[in-house]
Amino acid sequence: MPSYSAPLRDMRYVLKDVFQMDKQWASLPALQELIDMDTADAILEEAGKIAGEVIAPLNREADEEGSHWSDGAVTAPSGFKEAYQTFSEGGWVGLGGNTEYGGMGMPKTLVGQVDELVQGASISFGLAPMLSAGACLSINVHASDELKEKYLPNMYAGTWAGAMDLTEPHAGTDLGIIRTKAEPQSDGSYTISGTKIFITWGEHDMAENIIHLVLAKLPGAPAGPKGISLFLVPKLLVNEDASVGGANGVSCGSIEKKMGIKASATCVMNFDDARGWLVGGENQGLACMFTMMNYERLGVGIQGLGAAEASYQNAREYARERLQSRSPSGIQAPEKVADPIIVHADVRRMLMTMKAFNEAGRAFSTYVASWLDIAKYSDSETDRKHADTMVALLTPVAKAFMSDKALDATVMGQQVFGGHGFVREWGQEQLVRDVRITQIYEGTNGIQAMDLMGRKVAMNGGSSIALLAKEIHAFVEDNSGESAQEYTQPLLASLHLLTQATETVVSQAQDDANAVGAAAVDFLHLTGYVTYAYMWAKMALTSQALLAEDEAFHGAKIATAQFYFQRLLPQTGALAQGISAGSSAVMALASEQF
């Protein structure tokens, strides 16, 4: 059976040693009273216990059992309801929530790490609090005070769960063509009618009520994305005193049979004259969704990381224990019938690759979260604006690059097990199946790449990339010593490829409408490799300075950085070369020639 243990040592390293996050927390007025490094440590330790002891042990069996649909009601797999209750009682759903309504007000730099622990234990389970937190975020920013007072406390407490209802059978990426309708009523509410699909945990028995945030169209709304509004639609109507009342016109038509995250229910939701309340302005639905999206998209990247870490931990144990063949350097375990497979360079290549991507991903997600915190909490408008730009640029990278590398990592973690990796009992194949969804939902990775390459790069002529480049150049200048060159020189070389590629595509896009799309995924990966190189350079220099404190730990960091620069970063050359080719070969065929 697979197991999961919280990578607390590495999280502390990222927060404290690499980013000195306590300084940032102390500098932000809303956070300085709430959190310091000791509090963060204590919270991570508690989260690690829940993840490792309460959630992770359910994950394998829940995949086999799945969620159950019967007569419109969904029952979560055995143990989920109790675990959800424990989780809620610990205050974890509202960890990052508004303190005015019972949230704990913690920064994303910490919440993101707690997320990794929960998702590493079980993506299927973790989706429930993740969607609740996302719904709360939108309500907190856009809903009226009345709605906030009525809904947020019970949602932060986990008593009620949240769900996001966007997709329709004919409208996934293209939300502008949704058909769900909202009719205004005399009392200020609306009646919502339509069908939504792919609604994660749209129905279940873990919470007393489920609060849906539903995209719908008002009568006479403009066509396309500018005619979409967001509505709060509870499964059970809520009385004035915030107790639950009668049923609303909300029902679950069926749940999907999926490749992975089988324990979670992916629902077809029917709204039949359900009562709902407008969140944000009329026709402002997409803007309201975007508030949440940067958080959710980073969260999906972190889901991938969680699963990739779990896969790594199991692969590492297996590689230490599985005896098979002898080391080419000579027998290592003469008392045994064969050596453990960790002696083999190719097994190490897989473990090192997983380690290099996972640890860079952990640092990178914290780095992105630090920009989210500044954007939300800083009292300097200049800093907030700078942070907004960085968040906009880096969010699609966090979502897509982290999830793409998570698939690679879980496939490698499965490969280390050989044939046993294909057998469900060992859990490694489940991680591949579960992680695969992170490349698809919350905007496919292709859509993320189009967002990056189009809106965040080509539309501003590459100025956001220039801002990132400026930061990296400053970092390199600050670390000009001899021993830094090994990392800073290839970092600068890869950054040069990125700025060149930016110029190339910005220029191509002037007279080629397909240039952005043709380059997008390769450009996103190029950006991912460069930002991970930045993370590894930071970590290598941090660990160089701290080496004497813990030679095994920091020595491993330095060696992993070297592995990243020698074996993984060269990918940037191939990506840059592909991007420079433009769209002609991509677009050459007529549809019927495929």
Active site residues: 442
Out of 5, 86, 254, 415, name the contact with a copy of itself by CB under 8 A: 415
Instruction: In whole angstroms, give the CA distance from residue 300 to residue 284.
Output: 24
Sign, Cα dihedral of 276, 281, 283, 284: negative
Q: Give residues with Cβ within 8 angstroms of 592, minimum separation 6.
A: none
Interface positions, 566-585, toward a copy of itself (CB under 8 A): 566-568, 570-575, 577-578, 581, 583-585
Q: Which one among 370, 517, 536, 543 touches a copy of itself, defined by CB under 8 A?
A: 517
Which residues have C-beta within 8 Å of that of residue 351, sequence separation ≥ 6? 312, 315, 316, 319, 342, 412, 416
Residues in 195-224 that interact with a copy of itself by CB under 8 A? 197-198
Cα separation values, 565 from 173, 406, 471, 486, 495, Å: 36, 19, 20, 9, 13
- Which neighbouring-strand residues pair with 230? 215, 279
Determine contact, residues 58/80, Cβ cutoff 8 Å: yes
Neighbours of 147 (CB within 10 A): 18
Instruction: Please report how close the Cβ of residue 408 comes to a copy of itself at its closest, in angstroms.
Output: 10
According to the binding rule CB under 8 A, does residue 441 interact with a copy of itself? Answer: yes
Give the residue with the Cβ less far from a copy of itself, 370 or 448: 448
Among 267, 411, 452, 533, binds a copy of itself (CB under 8 A): 411
Please tell me whether residue 342 binds a copy of itself under the rule CB under 8 A: yes
Q: Where are the beta strands (DSSP E) in 117-249?
A: 160-165, 181-184, 190-200, 209-216, 229-234, 236-238, 244-247
Pick from 100, 146, 425, 478: which binds a copy of itself (CB under 8 A)? 425
Between CA 53 and CA 100 the distance in angstroms is 31
Q: How far is the CB of 394 from a copy of itself (least distance, A)?
A: 20
For residue 9, state whether it binds a copy of itself (rule: CB under 8 A): no
Q: What letter represents residue 444's amino acid?
A: T
Count the Cβ atoms, other than its own, within 10 Å of residue 523.
28
Of the candidates 18, 136, 278, 437, which one interacts with a copy of itself according to CB under 8 A? 437
Other beta carbons within 10 Å of 546: 15
Sole window of 84-92, 151-159, 317-325, 387-395 interacting with a copy of itself (rule: CB under 8 A): 317-325
Q: How many residues does the chain have?
A: 594
Applying CB under 8 A, which of residues 432, 495, 498, 506 lies at the interface with a copy of itself? 432
Q: Which parts of 81-140 interact with a copy of itself (CB under 8 A)? A: none
In the range 243-302, which residues lie near a copy of itself by CB under 8 A? 256-260
Interface residue with a copy of itself among 182, 307, 352, 372 (CB under 8 A) is 352
CB of 345 to a copy of itself, least distance (A): 3
Q: Which residues contact 510 (CB under 8 A, 6 or more apart)?
A: none
Query: Which residue's entry shows tokens 């590459």?
Result: 462
Could you identify the residue written with the tokens 């380059």? Answer: 519
- Is residue 548 a contact point for a copy of itself (CB under 8 A)? no
Q: Does 513 bind a copy of itself (CB under 8 A)?
A: yes
Query: Beta-carbon neighbour count of residue 338 at 10 Å?
Result: 15
- From 251, 303, 439, 504, residue interacting with a copy of itself (rule: CB under 8 A): 439
Residue 495 contacts a copy of itself per CB under 8 A = no
Q: Residue 394: which residues within 8 A CB-CB, separation 6 or more?
A: 367, 368, 371, 468, 531
The number of CA neighbours under 13 Å toward the Cβ of 256 is: 18
Of the residues 66, 96, 421, 462, which one makes contact with a copy of itself according to CB under 8 A: 421
Q: How many residues bind a copy of itself (CB under 8 A)?
A: 102
* Cross-strand partners of 222: none
Nearest approach in angstroms of CB 521 to a copy of itself is 6
Rg of the chain over CA atoms, in angstroms? 24
Closest separation between CB of residue 270 and a copy of itself, Å? 18
Task: Select from 128-136, 201-209, 240-248, 445-453 the region that touches a copy of itself (CB under 8 A).
Answer: 445-453
Q: Looking at beta carbons only, is 480 or 591 nearer to a copy of itself? A: 591
Window 448-487: contact mask with a copy of itself (x via CB under 8 A): -xx-------------------------------------
* x-marked contacts with a copy of itself along 134-173 as a string, rule CB under 8 A: ---------------------------------x--xxxx
| Identity of the residue, 141 or 338, whose beta carbon is nearer to a copy of itself in the bound complex | 338
What is the H or E stretch that residue 278 is in? strand 266-279
Asked if residue 533 binds a copy of itself (CB under 8 A), the reply is no
* Shortest Å, Cβ 190 to a copy of itself: 24
Among positions 219, 246, 334, 419, the unique one binding a copy of itself when judged by CB under 8 A: 419
